[in-house]
Structure 1
Amino acid sequence: MFVVLLKFAANRADAPRHMDGHNAWIRQGFEDGVFVLAGSLVPGVGGAVLARGEPREALEARVAADPFVKEGVVSAEIHQIAPGRTHEGLAALLA
């Protein structure tokens, strides 16, 4: 399981220009079954994605393809989580 942090970078002002492509990238991640949660970092400093089901190298390539990352709107950090305990309601995410 991975947490992807997308923090606004120097080119933040270009976000509206690349929003459609970024939203399509998020949609594709959900359609592929890799993204299980996406949302904003509060207060307005970027976004985060919870991802699973593909190797780190594949996720790194996926993240690099995000128009926000490609255009320098955000910088990306990928953190891997090795779950030790999980609420029973989240067990399906780890299957």
Structure 2
Amino acid sequence: MYVITLTYTAPLEMIDAALPGHVRWLEAAYADGVFLASGRRVPRTGGVILARPCARDVLEQRLAEDPFAKAGLARYDILEFIPTMTADVLAPLRETPAVRT
């Protein structure tokens, strides 16, 4: 699973102008089953996306298609983790880490 943080690199006026395209991009990722949750950071300096496990290069390609990325409006940081414990409501997201030999 991935936690992606977006950090705006442009004024909010430019972010707001690109927001409709960004929302359409998010909606497509939800429809594809890739994204699980997303929203604005507080204070409004960027956003956060929770994504399902997938190949990292596939995720990076999807992020590169975000209108914010295409316009150079945001920086993306990707953190991968294995959710081994969750609240019951999030049980379907639990993973078992591979045993390393």
Provide TM-score, normalisation by structure 2: 0.84
What does residue 61 of structure 1 align with? 61
State, as a whole percentage, how many aligned pairs show the same letter.
37
Higher relative contact order (CA 8 A, sep 6+): 1
| Contact persistence 1:11–1:74 (CA under 8 A) | no
**1: CA distance, partners of 2:51 / 2:78:** 10
Deviating 4+ runs (over 2 angstroms)? 10-13
SS at match of 1:86: coil
Provide TM-score, normalisation by structure 1: 0.89
Aligned runs of 1:1-95 on 2, under 5 Å? 1-10=1-10, 12-94=12-94
- Tell me the CA shift for residue 11 of structure 1: 5.6
Deviations 1:27-68 (A, max 9, x none): 011000011100111111110000004211100000011010
**Counterpart amino acid of residue 25 in structure 1:** W
Decide which structure has the larger Cα Rg and report it.
2
**Counterpart amino acid of residue 68 in structure 2:** F
Give 5+ residue unaligned stretches, structure 2.
96-101
**Counterpart amino acid of residue 66 in structure 1:** D
**1: CA distance, partners of 2:73 / 2:6:** 9
Q: When the two structures are aligned, how many residues end up with a matched partner?
A: 95
Identify if the C-alpha distance between structure 1 residues 68 and 9 changes in structure 2 by more than 3 Å, giving closer, same or farther: same
